[in-house]
Amino acid sequence: MTGEKILIVEDERAVARGLEYGLRDAGFEVQWAETGARGLTLATGWQPHLIILDIRLPDISGYDVCRRLRREGQRQPILMLTARDEEVDKILGLELGADDYVVKPYSLRELISRIRALIRRTYGEFALAAGPTLISVEDLQIDLERMWVHRRGTPIDLTPTEFRLLRHLVTHANHPVSRDALIEAVWGYDSDLGNDRTIDVHIRHLRQKLEDDPANPRYLLTVRSVGYKFQMA
Ligand code: CA
């Protein structure tokens, strides 16, 4: 895999330069924006395949950059850089729409494997198991191929990560899927990196978007000590 375009939005020159060097070395095409404003311009003008976005920027915060990109309909995977793990809830927040995050200091190897996984999951070929691609359950219609979800006829706006998670659960409907299997299916790396919480946060968001009563879900059920399952019937 080479040549994908990656935009780094990061004001710390040393961090950005290190990243730029490492990513170029890994075969990516890289541009660097030192401010949020420049990041927004490059994100729409250059159309990167993935955006690495620092939260603390001198002008517009990474949160606002992310929010604005999603509002403008930019759907590239966004990987946020944060200094603190506690920010995960906000980073993966409903209105924000980031796909993943890495806590500083991170290893370049880990970051690159996250980037590759996100790109593969977003743009890679999706070999759907034999079966229907248009799923209808009560008030939900899910098109697995064209990646849309309607609820009572109204389109539901899911982030690419939320959709991949839902798609994996739906293609294994009525069967419990472990968090490890979800992490592998959705992000493509193993759970040693400790992202169970990421799964839980995304599931919570999916419930808020798809369920009448997110606290008592009809579709996305918790399977105690295993993970989750999509209840079809
Ligand atoms: Ca910064």
Q: For the domain that residue 188 is a member of, what is the CATH number?
A: 1.10.10.10
Q: What angle do CA 134, 155, 92 make, to 5 degrees?
A: 100
> Do 92 and 153 belong together in one domain?
no
Q: Could you tell me the distance, in angstroms and rounded to a whole number, from the CA of residue 37 to the centre of ligand 1?
A: 14
Q: Could you tell me the distance, in angstroms and rounded to a whole number, from the CA of residue 47 to the centre of ligand 1?
A: 22
Domain stops at, among 75, 109, 124: 124
Domain stops at, among 91, 108, 124: 124
**pLDDT the model gives residue 3:** 75
Q: Could you tell me the distance, in angstroms and rounded to a whole number, from the CA of residue 138 to the centre of ligand 1?
A: 46
Q: Could you tell me the distance, in angstroms and rounded to a whole number, from the CA of residue 39 to the centre of ligand 1?
A: 13
Nearest alpha carbon to residue 46 among 27, 81, 74, 80? 74
**pLDDT the model gives residue 126:** 44
Q: What is the pTM of this model?
A: 0.58
> Do 140 and 218 belong together in one domain?
yes
Q: Could you tell me the distance, in angstroms and rounded to a whole number, from the CA of residue 10 to the centre of ligand 1?
A: 6
Q: Could you tell me the distance, in angstroms and rounded to a whole number, from the CA of residue 124 to the centre of ligand 1?
A: 31
> Do 118 and 21 belong together in one domain?
yes
b/e code 12-41 from CB counts within 10 Å (16+ = b): eeeebeebbeebeebebebbbbbbbebbbe
Domain stops at, among 94, 124, 154: 124
Which residue range(s) make up the domain with 99?
Answer: 5-124
pLDDT in tens, 19-61: 999 999 888 999 999 999 999 999 988 889 999 999 999 999 9
Q: Could you tell me the distance, in angstroms and rounded to a whole number, from the CA of residue 63 to the centre of ligand 1?
A: 12
Low-confidence ranges of the chain (pLDDT < 50): 1, 125-130, 191, 193-194
**pLDDT the model gives residue 78:** 93
Q: Could you tell me the distance, in angstroms and rounded to a whole number, from the CA of residue 94 to the centre of ligand 1?
A: 23
Q: Could you tell me the distance, in angstroms and rounded to a whole number, from the CA of residue 191 to the centre of ligand 1?
A: 28
The answer to whether residues 34 and 28 touch, using CB atoms and an 8 Å cutoff, is: no
> Do 145 and 71 belong together in one domain?
no
> Do 88 and 184 belong together in one domain?
no
Q: Could you tell me the distance, in angstroms and rounded to a whole number, from the CA of residue 231 to the centre of ligand 1?
A: 43
Total domains present in the chain: 2
**pLDDT the model gives residue 101:** 85
> Do 200 and 132 belong together in one domain?
yes
> Do 184 and 120 belong together in one domain?
no
